[in-house]
Each structure stands twice: as C-alpha cells, then as structure tokens.
Amino acid sequence: MIPGRHTPLPPTWLCRVDAHPWPCGEAKLALLAKYADDRPRLLTLLAGWKAEAEDHLTQLDGGRPVDVTDRFLAWARRTTG
C-alpha cells in the first residue's frame, strides 16, 4: 500500500499530485515513515514497483530499456555513519 495522496500514475510513473517522477519527495517521506520499523519490507515493495515502472517506461520509450534503480531504491537504503 502506498500511503498518502502522492501516488504513482502508471504507465508514466509520475506523481498524481505534483507530476514529479514517482516516488516524489512527499511519497518518499510517507513511505519512510510508514515503514520506519521495516526497511526490508519497504525495499521489497520498492523493488516490485521499480520492475513494474521499468516495464511500463520501456514500452513508452519504444522498447529501449529504462533503468530506474536509483529513482526507486537508492534513497531508501539505510546509510551508516
């Protein structure tokens, strides 16, 4: 489940509210809050959405592979320090 109003609009994967590439800043904050105690679950969900987004965006781009790994996963990985 995606919390809040900032949800994706497939097949473009833009935010329904602000039209930024999803997950937008507000969506990231909502997801981090919702899954604060279950980062592995968040990463699993994001990986599934990433695969779906890549399929949709590749089709929209005439079959040329699209990689959205950083967009979907880089921000959600726990940093150490």
pLDDT number for residue 79: 60
Q: What pLDDT band is residue 5 in, cutting at 50, 70 and 90? A: very high
pLDDT of 21-32, one tens digit each?
A: 999 999 999 999
The percent of residues in the chain predicted with pLDDT above 70, rounded, is 94
pLDDT of 41-79, one tens digit each?
A: 999 999 999 999 999 999 999 999 999 999 999 999 876
Rounded Cα distance, 33 and 1, in Å: 13
Which of helix, strand or coil describes residue 14?
A: strand
The pTM of this model reads: 0.90
